[in-house]
Amino acid sequence: MWVYLNDRIVQANRARVSVFDRGYLYGEGVFETVRIHDGRPAWLERHLARLADSCRQIRMPVPEKNWPAIVQRVIDKNRVDHALIRLTLSRGPASPGTREFTIPDAGPTVVLFPRPLPHVTRSQRRKGVGITFVTVRRPSLRSYAAHAKTLNYLNNLLAKREAEERSAFEGLMLTTGGHLAECSMSNLFFIRDKTLYTPSLACGVLPGITRGVVLEMAPTLGLQTREGRYRPEVLYEADECFLTSSGVGILPVATIDGHPFPKQTSRSWVATLHTRYEHLLRAQSR
């Protein structure tokens, strides 16, 4: 595998970052995971806009670079058609011996490399996955830059591990106030009576790129959309439920802690949304 590291493309085993890098020491940095379809990045401008916004939230400048050209270079060098590209930007290494919180003048560390798409079986894609409520809570908007996609991912990893321990595909986190938030690596949607619901950004959820695409396309298919604060029990009255992320796209949820969603069929709204999403994804790579 070839890795882009600070303006150079190097073999993975030669891609080294300093132990003084503040991304490593403090999680001071941001990242993006971009879907690659047919060798082209999907919704790249939106990812770059979120990257800039994440940087603004953690008070870190975005280096001036031709990002689309760099992403394409990594795709071409690695000859990947269907994958993800992970783009990581950290504050960079402070010189050894400088004080803890001195802003390093070496500049940021920029790393890009490809990743395989998450493993989703055909049956999971058709019938849906099982998810579970986890004890990990999504931190409140007031506690830190919750809308930034930062390198501080421990909370999400803990939620994912908890889900895996219960053989669930994803772990659903609540807000500190006990409302629905999002899963460890995906946003949550549910449908009832021709209305599509999703927790609002005020719940501290990540402004997912796929979430945004779904909210834009749903009204064109005849679904009303609502973003709000929802108690967990409302999920038990939903007809259908699904997850979104750049990795899984639109993925139906069959059960939450064993409770099934009654209208999860091949002619469901989720299936319609999925078909439309795949169409838009293909259009992105033209």
Nearer to ligand PLP, 83 or 185 (CB): 185
Contact by Cβ (8 Å): 162, 171 = yes
Residue 258 dihedral angles phi and psi, to the nearest 5°: 90, -15
Verify binding: residue 150, ligand PLP, rule CB under 6 A.
Answer: no
Q: Partners of 11 in the beta sheet?
A: 2
Residue 86 dihedral angles phi and psi, to the nearest 5°: -95, 125
In whole angstroms, what is the distance from residue 169 CA to residue 201 CA?
23
Total residues contacting ligand PLP by CB under 6 A comes to 14
- Eight-state DSSP code of residue 185: S
Verify binding: residue 162, ligand PLP, rule CB under 6 A.
Answer: no
Binding part of the chain for ligand PLP, among 63-71, 72-80, 101-109, 203-211 by CB under 6 A, reads 203-211
Q: Which of residues 75-104 bind ligand PLP (CB under 6 A)?
A: none
CA separation, residue 135 to residues 158, 162, 176, 183, 197 (Å): 9, 8, 10, 12, 23
Binding part of the chain for ligand PLP, among 180-188, 229-237, 250-258, 270-278 by CB under 6 A, reads 180-188
C-beta atoms surrounding 122 within 10 Å = 7
Q: Which H, E and C letters describe 72-140, residue by residue? A: HHHHHHHCCCCEEEEEEEECCECCCCCCCCCCCCCCCEEEEEEECCCCCCHHHHHHCEEEEEEEEEECC
Residue 216 dihedral angles phi and psi, to the nearest 5°: -75, -40
Binding part of the chain for ligand PLP, among 93-101, 126-134, 208-216, 253-261 by CB under 6 A, reads 208-216
Among residues 90, 244, 264, 268, which is the contact residue for ligand PLP, using CB under 6 A?
244
> How buried is residue 149: exposed, middle or buried, by Cβ count under 10 Å (0-12/13-18/19+)?
buried
Nearer to ligand PLP, 18 or 244 (CB): 244
Binding part of the chain for ligand PLP, among 57-65, 129-137, 181-189, 252-260 by CB under 6 A, reads 181-189
Nearer to ligand PLP, 54 or 90 (CB): 54
Verify binding: residue 131, ligand PLP, rule CB under 6 A.
Answer: no
Nearer to ligand PLP, 152 or 265 (CB): 152
Q: Partners of 260 in the beta sheet?
A: 255
Verify binding: residue 214, ligand PLP, rule CB under 6 A.
Answer: no
Binding part of the chain for ligand PLP, among 75-83, 97-105, 183-191, 267-275 by CB under 6 A, reads 183-191
In whole angstroms, the minimum distance from the beta carbon of 243 to ligand PLP comes to 8
Verify binding: residue 187, ligand PLP, rule CB under 6 A.
Answer: yes
Verify binding: residue 211, ligand PLP, rule CB under 6 A.
Answer: yes
Footprint of ligand PLP (CB under 6 A): 33, 156, 182, 185-187, 206, 208-211, 244-246
